[in-house]
Amino acid sequence: MTSEEGWSFSEIDCRASLKVDPEGLLVAEDEIGMPIGFIGLFNMTSNITYVNVFIVQKDLRGKGIGKKLWEAMLKVTKDNTLVLDGVSQMKGWYEKRGFSFEAHSASSYHGTLSSQESVTLQNPYNIVSLSDDIWSALIAYDQQIYPYSREHVLRAWFCGVDRYTAVAFLDESVVGYANLHWKSKKECNIRVLNADNDVIADTLLLNLLQHIPLGSNVSFILLEDKPIAKYFSNFKISGTEHKLFTKEITGIQTDKIIFHTGHTI
């Protein structure tokens, strides 16, 4: 259903979400038990819930199935602050349901990687791939950007097969990180790129690109005020999404977020 919509949502995204909350997938079924729609959710903290993909099978839309899923989600999430990434067409619908705070908007890009640069940038930043011994440094850096711990969520997304995470250091300090995973052999999702400045972001990106074979279909979600890197000049925007909250959450350092997952807060 999600691929038909043109979304990059992958089995890794779905399984990571379920790892964080094994009961966080509400599925609508038809009379014979076939899945016809779903809505995902998981708790970011004890009182903030992320509402993940919300979708109904194309030929069954407009018959009230979405509303049933939505009501089931509200029943489970109770009084928690809710956060979601809503497509532009649905923004008004969500606003009417209390999602009146927007943190940022972002564009979904898709394209085929057709050129690669083998340059090494001359700068003081050192890029290493994520390993257990630098995990706590990455989490400490993440908490400079988000005012709550995302450790359980990042672990679900970053640890496992078919993923790669690059961490940027300046001396002993983490100054950025980026992650990607393979949706299939030929499809790669860049899921996160957070960095202290543009030079670090570019250095991390160059490192990621060295792990993506030419000819791969690549997707990422770029925050709207951030420039598009030259490697993606042939990429197309498939839609805009809005990070919407039911209550204001202050303290997220949006200036350090370049690519975001669209599937976590």
Ligand X SMILES: CC(C)(COP(=O)(O)OP(=O)(O)OC[C@H]1O[C@@H](n2cnc3c(N)ncnc32)[C@H](O)[C@@H]1OP(=O)(O)O)[C@@H](O)C(=O)NCCC(=O)NCCS
Residues near ligand X (CB under 6 A) are 5, 54-56, 61-67, 86-87, 89-90, 93
Q: How far is the CB of 26 from ligand X (least distance, A)?
A: 12
Residue placing its CB nearer to ligand X in the complex, 65 or 137: 65
Residue placing its CB nearer to ligand X in the complex, 93 or 186: 93
Q: How far is the CB of 75 from ligand X (least distance, A)?
A: 16
- What are φ and ψ of residue 79, in 5° steps? -95, 10
CB 242 within 8 A of CB 86: yes
The DSSP call for residue 229 is P
Backbone torsion region of residue 249, taken as left when φ is above 0, otherwise alpha when ψ lies between -120 and 50, otherwise beta:
beta
Identity of the residue numbered 20: V
Q: How far is the CB of 200 from ligand X (least distance, A)?
A: 31
Q: How far is the CB of 87 from ligand X (least distance, A)?
A: 4
Residue placing its CB nearer to ligand X in the complex, 63 or 236: 63
Q: How far is the CB of 99 from ligand X (least distance, A)?
A: 10
Helices and strands in the chain: count of H runs, count of E runs: 6, 12
- Label residues 190-215 b or e (16+ Cβ within 10 Å = b): bbbbbbbeebbbbbbbbbbbeebeee
Residue placing its CB nearer to ligand X in the complex, 61 or 236: 61
Residue placing its CB nearer to ligand X in the complex, 99 or 235: 99
Q: How far is the CB of 264 from ligand X (least distance, A)?
A: 15
Q: From 12, 13, 8, select the one nearest 187 (Cα to Cα).
A: 8
Residue placing its CB nearer to ligand X in the complex, 64 or 213: 64
Q: How far apart are CA 161 and CA 68, in angstroms?
A: 35
Q: From 23, 39, 22, 16, select the one nearest 150 (Cα to Cα).
A: 16
* Residue in the shown chain whose Cβ atom is closest to ligand X: 66
Q: How far apart are CA 78 and CA 60, in angstroms?
A: 28
Q: How far is the CB of 44 from ligand X (least distance, A)?
A: 18
Identity of the residue numbered 137: A
CB 237 within 8 A of CB 109: yes
Residue placing its CB nearer to ligand X in the complex, 15 or 63: 63
